Structure 1
Amino acid sequence: MNLFDAFLSAPASLDVFEGRNFVAAMLAFESALVEAQAAEGLVPASASALIQRVCADLDAFDTGQIARDSGRAGSVAIPLVKALKQRVHEADPAALPHVHLGATSQDVIDTAMALLSRRAIDLLIADLRSAAQALLALAVRHADTPVLARTLMQPASVTSLGLKAANWAAPLVRSLASLGAAADRALQLQLGGAVGTLAQMQGQGPAVAKRMAASLGLTEPHGAWHTQRDLWVLLGCELGVVAGSLGKIAGDIALMSQFEVGEISEPTEEGRGGSSAMPHKRNPVASMVALAAAARVPGLVATLLGAMTQVHERALGPWQAELATWPQLVLAVHGSVQAMAGALPGLVVDAARMRANIETLRQQIPAEAAEEWFSPALALQAGSLARDQVRRLNTDQALAINQNRTPT
């Protein structure tokens, strides 16, 4: 993770995808595998217990060495399994044949990525909900506050800030529902063995998978999805939509916060949005993060789509490209969500400046046009629409989707 990725990302998600946590997630897979196999009679209980104890000792595994060895091995799971086998052999050579039985590297890595993604996306959803709720509150508070509506970057008529905020909130509320559902579908256990047949599990593969999914808190798969990446990429596309929706909001706020417009500004605090050269500046840094994500994320999503061409039963190249891209996507989107969730509740609204901008325009156009298109009273009709939209967004329960899920 380079410096510029880091400052555009959410610290909590950065921690989720840290190397040590990925090693821990791979060990969680190995532990759940041998536990489920013992329950199905494929592995002796004593060997299972020993392997689980070794897996639980994360400090015994050198994350840096595993990372260094992965380039030569072609997979981060290969040096991990090698280290696991070495430690099991040191404890009891008789347990060695039962390590990683019937699994393959991609099973370990895809499952670990799903486990970490579950944590990160739960955190992202919580922040997205906060952002949506802040906008809905803004919509109610300023339902009747007149503001210029602008089309093609020019004043077009009068609307209300409340309706503008409700329109900002609507796609976020929809994403709360669709992102949560996409995550539940995509974040599955991966277990197929070398070519997806679970051939070494003596017909007990589906039962082992069922137990593992329950143990790890992941969706039980219908089968191995080694090269069937549709649900995974659909989740990536949902993340891309979130970034685009937030980028639109950030763009509006950035334009409205320009000195010449002065209608809205992001909240201020010590060290936020300053300039190294000009002490008078107050930059909209949350909008900056969201706009940066909106610029970066489409390319990351495109990489995932391009990486779907995974040939035969296991991929050479596209899967590895997907693995490198996926955390970057989640981190960029969560950085945007967290930045906006932090700024939106404290947005500073200058209703007097909004009205002054309307009056300035009214004085420059014919009286008839001023009354038809730029009367502040038009905000009342927009305010009624804003209240209706807020009611619909709240009553369709979208904000309650995954409300009770605790980030892990």
Structure 2
Amino acid sequence: MSIFDSFLSTPAMRTVFDGPAVIAAMLRFEAGLARAQAEVGLIPADAAGAIAACCNLDDVDPVQIGLDSGRAGSLAIPLVKALKDIVGQRHPEALPHVHLGATSQDVIDTAMVLVTRDALALLLADVDAAIAALLRHAGQHAATPMLARTLMQPASVTSFGLVCAGWAAPLVRSRERLQAAARAALQLQLGGAVGTLAQMKGQGAVVRARLAAALQLRDPGATWHTQRDSWTALACELGLLAGSLGKIALDISLLGQYEVAEVTEPAEVGRGGSSAMPHKRNPVASMVALAAAQRAPQQVAALLAAMPQQHQRALGPWQAELAEWPQLWLTVQGSAHALAGALPGLNVDAARMRANIDRLRAELPAQAADEWFDPALADGVAGLARAQAHDLQTRFDVIRNNTSSKDGSP
């Protein structure tokens, strides 16, 4: 990650995908695999306990494993070697049972699923905060009239509450789709060398089910080494979310221009200043979200392009996917986090909104002005804003209440 990425993402999300977190998730897979195999009698229980005891992040060097992966061509190869070295030194009798019947992609894919589950929790917390803030504004400003603008020009009258409901609606839909996509994508990977689990002596399906339960992941019922549709579908939902967040950011940045001055981001010491012009207060949250909306489509496209994967194990596309996946999450969560921080404190200048309406009315013939801004129209817009906000709040509450599925995945 370059220095220019730092303010477009968050430390929390960077931690989710950094080396120690991924290596720790890989070790969780290895420990869980040994225990699951012991439960069905594939390996001795003592060996499973010994292997699990050696799956300790403090005993390995994530930096060295990362360096060694360049020569090995896989992060799993140096990790499994390091684990075998530790087990061989401490419990040599358990050494033949380390990583039994699994392959590199099993441990890496499952580790990526585990850290992605953590990433999703961070993202959804920010999306929920953004939705909640928008729905509060929708209720509070249902009757606050403002100019609607079409083709970048003043059009007719709407209300700021209705605008906020319109901003919230795609976020609520995106929240719902993300939840469904995650249920499909956050699944265990366990297929062995070519997806047959041949080394598990007919116990592969049972081991897979037990390991999935232990890691609180969905059991896919089969390997998905080169079947990346569910995984990539989750990425596509992230791209849609980035676009919806970017739409909100674009509107806020336009409404906050000095010449319009109807809605501005909250002020904060040291935020949004200029090195040359002390009077400026730049909309930093909108900037982050707009940058994400520019970057996410290319990141999603890279993941879509990586879907055609050769035979039972990919040469190149899977590796490209692994490198791109964290970047997309960093991008989209950076956007959601920025807006979740700004939306609750938006400065809404109702007087300025009304002044802009009145200034335009004054330029119209009297009959057209009266027809264009009839108080009854404003009342109708307020009712529409309240109804939409209520419907969205109801749907949002249902979605949040259904966040956890029976198998523990989102």
Q: TM-score band, normalised by the shorter chain?
A: over 0.9
- 2:157 partner SS: strand
Distance in 1 (CA, whole Å) between partners of 2:341 and 2:297 is: 23
Map of 2:314 onto structure 1? 315
- Deviation at 1:369? 2.1
Deviation for aligned residue 1:2: 1.7
CA distance in 1, matches of 2:75, 2:373: 62
1:165/1:407 Cα in 2 relative to 1: closer, same or farther (>3 Å)? farther
The question of whether the paired residues in 1 share the 8 Å contact of 2:186 and 2:217 is answered with: yes
Tell me which residue corresponds to 1:284.
283
Map 1:245-256 → 2, pairs under 5 A: 245-256=244-255
CA contact (8 A) 1:166 1:386 kept: yes
Return the offset for 1:383.
1.1
Q: Relative to structure 2, which stretch is displaced further, 77-86 or 395-404?
A: 395-404
Q: Does 1:183 align with 2:182?
A: yes
Q: Does 1:260 align with 2:231?
A: no
Return the TM-score normalized by structure 1: 0.97
Residues 223, 403 of structure 1: alpha-carbon distance in 2 compared, 3 angstrom cutoff: closer
Q: TM-score, normalised by structure 2?
A: 0.97
Verify the 8 A CA contact 1:177 1:401 in the aligned structure 2.
no
SS at match of 2:209: helix
Say whether the 8 Å CA contact 2:14–2:330 is kept in structure 1: yes
DSSP-derived class of the 1:384 partner: helix
CA distance in 2, matches of 1:274, 1:176: 33
Q: What is the match of residue 5 of structure 1? A: 5
Q: 1:92 offset after TM fit, Å?
A: 2.1
Residue type of the partner of 1:231? S
Whether contact under 8 Å (1:146, 1:376) holds in the other structure is no
Is the CA contact 1:177–1:398 (under 8 Å) kept in the aligned structure 2? no
The one-letter code of the counterpart of 1:10 is T
For 1:62-103, what per-residue CA distance to the aligned partner results, in whole angstroms no more than 9, with x for missing partners?
111100010110001110001001111111222111000000
Offset at residue 407 of structure 1 (A): 11
Contact 1:122 1:407 in 2 (8 A): no
Matched, 1:232 2:238: no
Asked if structure 2 preserves the Cα contact closer than 8 Å seen for 1:136 and 1:166, the reply is yes
Aligned partner of 1:21 in structure 2 is 21
Q: Deviations over 1:36-86 (max 9, x none)?
A: 00001001111111110000x211101111000101100011100010011
> What amino acid is the match of 1:83?
A
Offset at residue 378 of structure 1 (A): 2.9
Note if 1:210 corresponds to 2:230.
no
- The aligned counterpart of 2:78 is 79
Distance 1:399 1:140 in 2: 20
Contact 1:263 1:351 in 2 (8 A): yes
Q: What SS does structure 1 have at the residue aligned with 2:259?
A: coil
Q: Which is worse superposed, 272-281 or 260-269?
A: 272-281
- Cα distance, 1:335 vs structure 2: 0.4
Q: Where does residue 170 of structure 2 map in the other structure? A: 171
Q: Kindly indicate whether the alpha-carbon contact (under 8 Å) linking 2:165 and 2:388 is maintained by their aligned counterparts in 1.
A: yes
Q: How many residues align?
A: 407
Measure, in 2, the Cα distance between the counterparts of 1:280 and 1:407.
49
Q: Secondary structure at the match of 1:150?
A: strand
Mark the CA change 1:399 to 1:379 in structure 2 (over 3 Å): closer, same or farther: farther
Q: Could you report, residue by residue, the CA deviation over 1:187-237 in whole angstroms, capped at 9, with x for unpaired residues?
A: 111000010000000011111111111111111112100000000010000
Deviation sequence 1:298-350 (CA, Å, 0-9, x none) = 00001111110001111011111110000000110000001101100000100
Structure 2 spans left out of the alignment, 5+ residues: none
Counterparts in 2 of 1:399 and 1:258: CA distance versus 1, 3 Å = farther
Rounded Cα–Cα distance in structure 1 between residues aligned with 2:374 and 2:4:
46
Could you tell me how far apart the structure 2 residues matched to 1:259 and 1:52 are?
Answer: 61
Quick one: structure 1 residues 291 and 58, their matched pair in 2 at CA, closer, same or farther if it must change by over 3 Å? same
Shift of the 359–377 alpha-carbon distance from structure 1 to 2, 3 Å rule, reads farther
**Equivalents in 2 of 1:91, 1:213: separation in Å?**
28
SS of equivalent residue, structure 1 residue 280: coil
Equivalent residue for 2:31?
A: 31
Q: Compute the displacement of 1:375 (Å).
A: 4.4
- CA distance in structure 2 between the partners assigned to 1:355 and 1:66 by the alignment: 62
Hey, what's the Cα distance between the residues in 2 that align with 1:262 and 1:377? Answer: 26
2-structure distance, mates of 1:105, 1:392: 47
1:355 Cα offset (Å): 0.4
Amino acid at match of 2:325: W
Partner of 2:161: 162
Give the Å deviation of 1:256.
0.1
CA distance in 2, matches of 1:36, 1:89: 21
In structure 1, what is the Cα distance between the partners aligned to 2:201 and 2:399? Answer: 45
Could you say if the C-alpha distance between residues 226 and 403 of structure 1 is closer, same or farther in structure 2, counting changes exceeding 3 Å? Answer: closer
Look up the equivalent residue of 2:168 and give its one-letter code. A
Amino acid of the structure 1 residue aligned with 2:337: Q
Distance 1:206 1:111 in 2: 16
CA–CA distance in structure 1, aligned partners of residues 378 and 53 of structure 2: 66
Give the letter for the 1:146 counterpart: P
